Structure 1
């Protein structure tokens, strides 16, 4: 894979514009231009997992498996929801960890197509949708008896809002294990519209019991600076 992508270069972030990668001397794309990146088999993994050393998929998957073990659940009997499933890496990791079935959700049809292309058989179902439109997704997910949730970096920033997190947790039964990672910048509890406040409110309302909350290095930027996220592991109330 490295040889195939030998010409791919990471570009330093312009002051206001984010991070970019040069796919060739003729094409430069934003790091979050997922539809274009997903169109090339293995490109997302090469850039984000290998070059930027992203650990969120492994951290989220391991956190979920720890939660299931702590709660005395048998992973092979579970159907788990993977929110922001992308190309399927998290789903693949939890399946390798013994989870019986995984159902993916992603806002992009390109993500579903890439997952089915690169990781066929990982998902029992893969729904294209947005948890901000919970009624539509709830209907699409109705055929699955969802017993847990895992998500690596899907919540926060421009990805999905705190309401999307609340809606995603609401499709689970009580006592379901959950694990998700969120950029620490969005976890400041003093921001009433942020995820930190949302998690605290979910706990106060009895809708989430937090088992673990830890800080870790999610990845590095295209210029090598560390980016830190938080892992939240718990169970639904």
Structure 2
């Protein structure tokens, strides 16, 4: 894969306002311009997984499988919801871990297209929708009886909001395991609208029984600075 992208360069502050990928001298795209990045087979994995050493997919998948086993569940009998499924790496990892069936959800049609192109057969279904809208996506997912939820980096920042997390957990039955990773900046307790307060509220209300919170290096920036996330695991109350 590295040979195919030998000319790709990573740009960031102070060279540019944000993190960018230089595909060629005259073609520069923002790292989070997902429609463009997903359109090139393997580009997202090369840049984010290989060059920026992103660990969230592995951490989230391992955290989910660990939580399921601790609850005495057999992954081979589970249907798991993958929120913010992207190109399908998390779904692939939990399937490798023995999960019987995974249903992916992402707000971008480009993500679905990339996943079906690059990882055919990983998902039993891949639904385009936004949990922030709640009811519409819940209706689309109604045919499935989910046994758990996994998500790598989909919540926080410019991605899904705390309300989206609440709506996603709401499709699970009591006792179902959940594992997700969130940028630690979005977990700041001082932000009344942040995920830190939302997770505390879910725990206080009994909607989410948190069993693990672990800080880890999510990835590095395009200029090499570390970005830290938290893995949060637990089960629906």
1:154 is paired with a residue of what secondary structure? Answer: strand
Aligned counterpart, 1:25: 25
1:66 is paired with a residue of what secondary structure? Answer: helix
Runs of 4+ that moved beyond 4 A: none
- 2:16 and 2:167 map into 1 onto residues whose CA distance is 31
How far off its partner does 1:191 sit?
Answer: 1.3
User: Contact 1:13–1:20 at 8 Å: present in 2 too?
Assistant: no
2:62 is paired with a residue of what secondary structure? Answer: helix
- 1:51 and 1:16 map into 2 onto residues whose CA distance is 18
**Cα RMSD (Å) of the superposition?**
1.0
Please, what TM-score do these two structures have when normalized by structure 2? 0.98
Aligned counterpart, 2:53: 53
- 2:162 and 2:134 map into 1 onto residues whose CA distance is 13
Listed as ranges, the gaps of 5+ residues in structure 2 are none
Aligned counterpart, 2:107: 107
Deviation per residue, 1:119-148 (Å, 9 max, x gap): 000000000000011111001001111110
Aligned counterpart, 1:172: 172
How far off its partner does 1:17 sit?
Answer: 3.0
Is 1:204 aligned to 2:204, yes or no? yes
Matches within 5 A, 1:59-208: 59-208=59-208
1:36 is paired with a residue of what secondary structure? Answer: helix
Deviation per residue, 1:166-215 (Å, 9 max, x gap): 00000111100000000000001221100000000000000000010010
Aligned residue pairs, count: 237
How far off its partner does 1:16 sit?
Answer: 8.4
Deviation per residue, 1:7-46 (Å, 9 max, x gap): 0000023488321110111100000000000000000000
Aligned counterpart, 2:232: 232
Deviation per residue, 1:80-131 (Å, 9 max, x gap): 0000000000000000000000000000000000000000000000000000
Please, what TM-score do these two structures have when normalized by structure 1? 0.98
- 1:18 and 1:151 map into 2 onto residues whose CA distance is 24
